[in-house]
């Protein structure tokens, strides 16, 4: 039996009734907040025990969010880090790792007798490329405010983050270069179609991870569709259409 969204709604309704009735127990307030969050993100729970476990994990995330935002508020800095709840708020660290589909270039992966593609296609590695410190200044540009990037995306229960990071970068680049409004590219095309030809194999593994640079190589050779034409369904219950090429 699943402790589904209807059960969550019941918990929320009972909690709200208690608050209106004068019961100001902080535990009830938090349970109501958790239930509201669960309803927003369509969360389902296997049992009441699973509900309690998830609420405990959510509370840990909530504590971190409140602590981080309080520090940001007290700092007076516009660019200070601020957090908010997401779909991942009730997941353990190990569960969150399952959503990280980027495969590092130095992980020793071999596929179809070929070496890891990172070095061979110029992806670079931490052994010879260092990071760059970032800071805000009066001359910085907020590309989100200027309409060159879109809203935060949700990959669902699929290790396809590499498709989101590569597409988000390309979407912004296209918009900035052309001066055109932001338009979302299709992550589902990459998940479904990137290994369509074994003789021209791209190191992309659908919901099991991949490389951002390999996505760009694939799009260079096959083109990039828009999400409105090939909608993202991985991690939900949908099934995408057939791969399409011009």
Task: Count structural domains, the chain.
Answer: 2
Q: Say whether pTM exceeds 0.85.
A: no
Domain, as residue range, for 180: 99-123+143-246
* Pair (114, 160) in one structural domain: yes
Q: What is the CATH number of the domain that holds 164?
A: 3.90.70.10
In which band, very low, low, confident or very high, does the pLDDT at 194 lie, cut at 50, 70 and 90?
confident
Residue 27 within any structural domain of the chain = yes
Residue 214 within any structural domain of the chain = yes
* Pair (79, 154) in one structural domain: no
* Pair (117, 61) in one structural domain: no
Tell me the per-residue pLDDT of 130-147, one tens digit each, with 9 for 90 and over.
Answer: 445 556 666 677 777 888
In angstroms, the Cα distances linking 200 to 46, 110, 114, 190, 217 are 43, 15, 12, 14, 11
* Pair (103, 210) in one structural domain: yes
**CA 198, 204, 207 angle in degrees (round to 5)?**
120
* Pair (25, 104) in one structural domain: no
Where is average pLDDT lowest: 68-77, 79-88, 115-124, 203-212?
Answer: 115-124
């Amino acid at each position: 039996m699943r402790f589904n969204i209807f059960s969550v709604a019941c918990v929320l309704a009972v909690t709200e009734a208690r608050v209106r009735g004068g019961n100001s127990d902080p535990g009830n307030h938090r349970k109501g907040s958790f239930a509201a969050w669960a309803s927003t993100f369509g969360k389902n729970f296997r049992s009441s025990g699973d509900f309690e476990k998830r609420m405990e994990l959510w509370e840990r995330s909530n504590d971190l969010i409140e602590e981080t935002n309080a520090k940001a508020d007290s700092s007076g800095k516009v660019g200070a880090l601020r957090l908010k709840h997401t779909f991942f708020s009730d997941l353990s660290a190990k569960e969150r790792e399952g959503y990280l589909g980027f495969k590092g270039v130095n992980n020793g992966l071999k596929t179809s007798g070929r070496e890891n593609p990172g070095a061979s296609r110029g992806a670079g590695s931490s052994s010879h490329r260092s990071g760059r410190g970032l800071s805000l200044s009066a001359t910085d540009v907020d590309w989100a405010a200027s309409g060159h990037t879109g809203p935060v995306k949700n990959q669902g229960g699929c290790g396809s983050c590499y498709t989101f990071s590569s597409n988000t970068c390309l979407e912004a680049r296209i918009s900035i270069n052309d001066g055109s409004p932001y338009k979302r590219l299709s992550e589902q095309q990459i998940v479904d179609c990137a290994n369509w030809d074994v003789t021209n194999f791209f190191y992309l593994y659908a919901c099991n991870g991949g490389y951002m640079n390999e996505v760009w190589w694939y799009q260079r050779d096959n083109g990039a569709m828009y999400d409105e034409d090939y909608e993202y369904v991985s991690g939900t219950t949908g099934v995408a259409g057939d791969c399409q090429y011009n």
